[in-house]
Structure 1
């Protein structure tokens, strides 16, 4: 496919899990992909190498999110390698500590909001002068904002609820420029982020699979293919939407 030929994309957290699947899919569709990473340089290099081996074009850029000056550092690294942007995928995130409200400290709360909510807000703010008219912004949310977060993920769910509001509001603001803004909301996906319970606990994996209409655990490519549609011209009349990517988990 070559639906994105001539386009430049930036995927935050693009070296692992859903982010890697998105980076590889967008590159397969013809985009030049900036694969952002925070600390795992080896994973970013591996993702870039895989894209190039498949005939695509990509480069890695590093910026730790959730710290002062993170968005400016990210865009400085991007500007050194690219001129202008067409697709921004705000994928980087963390669940933070998995504690109920009684055990969450202010530090825990601030940390998860800094990465999941503040960083994409300011990354996007600084992206706007670089983002060409007709561009695409896709934010990764979660099914927990509609299905009710588990008590131990209350802070995480709140960060993504803010992203949902951000998505709808920004879509209206950027509409006159032909820029669409949408949120994709995965359920439990088989990634490193969920490895400690989803891969290690056979009963938990079975329970997650039984919650989905398809009777299986979601894979990164299941989400990446939806994001690829939203990044393409085919999605030009879809904006401000929260798209359920849970495989029917909320039915």
Structure 2
């Protein structure tokens, strides 16, 4: 059986200190990659993730930056590259959400806020890191999206718009950078049982996460590790012929939704 070995590789995980980002950071670290764990404000969570990787014998450090801030993002990439070498894995996990208004009632400034982090930030990050990947002749981008680009929760269109833009970026990179050995793929989880996920459920559906666990096709909503496992596959040699793909990790949620006739 082939094992996933990322020794000698350098990964940057945005929003890597908690939730799905934490699970991804730890998985990459366990596989041997040096991991730059990005955080925006919760340095204690990021440091806990770093400590977990180091205690297992891995290499990691935390780097502060708001992904929607172009200058801060550039400084983070420079610092991470100085610490570990050229970055050849980028997991765009950082994201923000919005709830409470229909798309026509959403103020343009709110759309701008969402786009800044969920789409413009990953675009700037790609501009900064792709030159390093081209020189190395390899690289992997994974964009953490959402099933909400395919099926919207109540008042979820603003968030869905920003994630759809991010997915378009991922596909553009897959097309434009394939000649340099760069892969770009999207992972779209369903509802994940994280702190952010619980807040979204409460705001959009008015139920707790345990209620949705009972309703989910597999008996539980998506777990962070289940997303991390797919990311690990995509950045490994096992997925060397996979690029420009959108992989849904939702336990059959969208399939069940598509099979249910709409209520008229």
Contact 2:5 2:32 in 1 (8 A): yes
State the secondary structure of the residue aligned to 1:189.
Answer: coil
SS of 2:88's equivalent in the other structure is strand
Root mean square deviation of aligned Cα: 2.0
Deviates most, 184-193 or 132-141: 132-141
Determine whether 1:51 maps to 2:50. no
Q: Give the match for residue 123 of structure 1.
A: 125
Distance in 2 (CA, whole Å) between partners of 1:156 and 1:234 is 32
Consecutive unaligned residues in structure 2, runs of 5 or more: 256-264
Distance 1:197 1:14 in 2: 19
* Contact 2:16 2:38 (8 Å CA) reproduced: yes
Q: Which residue of 2 aligns with 1:10?
A: 12
Change (3 A) 1:191 1:199: farther
Q: CA deviation at 1:78?
A: 1.6
Q: Which residue of 2 aligns with 1:60?
A: 62
How much does 1:85 deviate? 1.5
> For residues 98-177 of structure 1, what are the structure 2 equivalents within 5 Å?
98-131=100-133, 132-147=136-151, 149-177=152-180
Q: CA deviation at 1:199?
A: 7.9
Tell which deviates more after alignment, 182-191 or 95-104. Answer: 95-104
User: When the two structures are aligned, how many residues end up with a matched partner?
Assistant: 250
Q: Is the 8 A contact 2:15 2:95 kept in 1?
A: yes
Alpha-carbon distance in 2 for matches of 1:133, 1:119: 24
Find the aligned partners of 1:173 and 1:75 in 2 and give their Cα distance.
22
Tell me how far 1:197 sits from its aligned partner: 5.3
C-alpha distance in 1, partners of 2:241/2:139?
A: 12
- The answer on whether the counterparts of 1:96 and 1:111 sit within 8 Å (CA) in structure 2 is no
Give the Cα separation in 1 of the matches to 2:103 and 2:27: 38
Q: Does 1:227 align with 2:231?
A: yes
**1:151 Cα deviation after fit:** 3.6
Q: Structure 2 CA distance, aligned partners of 1:144 and 1:40? A: 26
**2:71 aligns to what?**
69
TM-score, normalised relative to structure 2: 0.88
- C-alpha separation between the residues in 1 aligned to 2:253 and 2:215? 5
SS in 2 for 1:60: strand
Gaps of 5+ in 1: none
How far did residue 68 of structure 1 move? 4.5
Once structures 1 and 2 are overlaid, which stretch shifts more, 12-21 or 192-201? 192-201
Of 178, 196, 201, which residue of structure 1 is paired with 2:181?
178
Give the C-alpha shift of residue 247 in structure 1: 1.2
Contact persistence 2:190–2:221 (CA under 8 A)? no
Structure 2 partner of 1:238: 242
Note if contact 1:12-1:37 (Cα within 8 Å) is conserved in structure 2.
yes
Match of 1:249 among 250, 253, 257: 253
